[in-house]
Structure 1
Amino acid sequence: MVTEEQARRALDTVIDPELDEPITDLGFVRSLEISGAGLTVHLRLPTSFCSPNFAYLMASDARDALSALPGADEVAVFLDDHHDSDLINRGLAADAGYRGTFGDEAEESLDELRAIFRRKAHTAAMERVLTAMLRAGLPEEKLHDVVLGDLPPGSSTAALLRRREALGLSTEPSSPVLVDDEGNQYPREEVPLRLRMARSVRISIEGNAHFCRGLLRTRYPESGADQSPVKEKVS
């Protein structure tokens, strides 16, 4: 039998692709019920018109994460109060897949969608660790030479390594930190520009997350108790 703690930990691995935070931290998990080998989860989003493809991706990932638990024989995930709730819930129940659920409206595959936001998440994580090094006194002209082995241990470094691994990029200590989506190091003269561009991506992600947390609390006042405190971010 699956325990609630096991189910919650599984849901912790489900990430909002646009906000780059677990759905559990954001308060998107409305309820979790366990009955024997059966698990039922209801999800809620900040608005009824949140992007359907993001909504489906999170609901589908939640179902997959729970289904992978030993002893979870029946898993049902429902998206509540969304303009495409019926469509998405039917697709999940029938295991129809993304394209099977949305048909001609599915412009991109889920793999393409994931790749886009994994690249953005990597860019933001890369900027966080490099900005932290600047704050610690490293001159900007030295950023080009920073490798993974130079980064201090901690959550920001661990997050960057996870995002590099998700993109198939090297996590060897000798690998340069400031790289493009393919793992190629930027030229030294481009460092200031690339860092500014990465900062704009990071600020956009964090700003959207803050906005969506507030919208969720406005729509569902009780959701505030389910949201994890926002971790301190670099500015």
Structure 2
Amino acid sequence: MSRHESAYAALGSVLDPELDEPITDLGFVRSLVVSPSGNIKVHLRLPTSFCSPNFAYLMASDAKDVLKQLDWTRNVVVELDDHHDSPIINAGLAADAGYRGTFQHEADDSLDELRETFRRKAHTAAMERCLTALLRAGRPSESLGSVTLGELPDDDATRALLRRRDALELPTAGESLVLVDHEGRPPADPDLALRRARSTRISIDGNAHFCRGLLRTRYGDEPSAFIPVSELIH
């Protein structure tokens, strides 16, 4: 794997916190340029200029962090384009000021609190996808509260659920119940819990579809990154 491919793969681990999808899949990476000496410059773009500043900062900050963690990088520059808070966010990223240092008094919540909120939503949606797939395969609805992780098929949906559980420090052993809240507690009413989980998953999926449409409308046919390795910075 080339350095350029390695950097792009690292960016693929950065998720939109609300949509729970990689920023590379969503088309948010506008450009990526890697120099022979290990310098990286990334430009990010979002579907609208008024996307939530805390979401925007979180994605940009995470992008810079994952690139800095590569063992060959030297200087990493990440900039957010065409956002109403781009100057503030880009200045904060350049100075490594952190979220509170970037937004000062406007930073009501910490990024840790924001991340935790969306980890819980992502877990809820992943759990619903797995259980709904079982329903469609003929599993009786009244038995869903007793389904364990070991009963799920070895597929992408199950692997996604295991990652979400691991992020919340929930058990991932085969005997663990699938239908639990973010603290690992089974619900008193499994049917109601699944219906609520379904509304969360539908909201996430709908927002992702909407954002893709807005991005296409805003940027048209402008491609997202994969800048050829020949286009280098020094």
- Asked if Structure 1 and Structure 2 have the same fold, meaning a TM-score greater than 0.5 normalized by the shorter chain, the answer is yes
User: Structure 1 regions of 5+ residues with no counterpart?
Assistant: 227-235
Contact 1:44 1:79 in 2 (8 A): yes
Kindly indicate whether the alpha-carbon contact (under 8 Å) linking 2:31 and 2:224 is maintained by their aligned counterparts in 1: no
Task: Name the counterpart of 1:53.
Answer: 54
3-state SS of paired residue (1:222): coil
1:105 aligns with 2:106: yes
Query: In structure 2, how many angstroms separate the alpha carbons of the residues matched to 1:69 and 1:2?
Result: 12
One-letter identity of the residue aligned with 1:145: S
Tell me the alpha carbon deviations over residues 178-232 of structure 1, each in whole angstroms, 9 at most, x when there is no partner. 0011011113xx0111111000000000000000000001000125666xxxxxx
1:34–1:40: 8 Å Cα contact kept in structure 2?
Answer: yes
Q: Which amino acid aligns with 1:181?
A: H
Q: Which structure 1 residue ranges, 4+ long, deviate > 4 Å from structure 2?
A: 223-226
Greater helix share, structure number: 1
The amino acid of 2:12's aligned partner reads D
Change in CA separation of 1:225 and 1:95 when aligned onto 2, cut-off 3 Å? closer
Which residue is equivalent to 1:215?
214
Per the alignment, in what secondary structure is the counterpart of residue 174 of structure 1? coil
What secondary structure, in the 3-state scheme, does the structure 2 residue paired with 1:76 have? strand
Distance of 2:122 and 2:200 partners within structure 1? 8
Read off the aligned partner of 1:34 and give its amino acid letter: V
- 2:93 is matched with which residue? 92
1:7 is the counterpart of 2:7: yes
Matching residue's letter, 2:28 = F
Identity %: 67
Q: Deviations over 1:150-205 (max 9, x none)?
A: 00000000000000000110001110000011011113xx0111111000000000
Aligned match of 1:32: 32
So what's the TM-score if we normalise by structure 2? 0.94
Equivalenced residue count is 225
Secondary structure in 2 matching 1:16 = coil
Q: Using the alignment, how far apart are the partners of 2:88 and 2:174 within structure 1?
A: 46
- 2: distance between equivalents of 1:13 and 1:209? 17
- Three-state SS of the structure 2 residue aligned to 1:23 is coil
Q: Which residue of 1 aligns with 2:229?
A: none
Higher relative contact order (CA 8 A, sep 6+): 2
Question: Is 2:173 the partner of 1:172?
Answer: yes
Residues 6, 156 of structure 1: alpha-carbon distance in 2 compared, 3 angstrom cutoff: same
Mark the CA change 1:57 to 1:184 in structure 2 (over 3 Å): closer, same or farther.
same
**2:101 & 2:90 partners in 1: Cα distance?**
12
2 CA distance for matches of 1:223 and 1:52?
23
Measure the CA separation in 1 of the matches of 2:34 and 2:164.
Answer: 32
Question: What is the aligned partner in structure 2 of residue 199 from structure 1?
Answer: 198
Per the normalisation by structure 1, the TM-score is 0.93
**Equivalences for residues 149-168 of structure 1 within 5 A:** 149-168=150-169
Matches of 1:47 and 1:145, distance apart in 2:
43
Structure 2: 5+ residue stretches without partners: 226-234
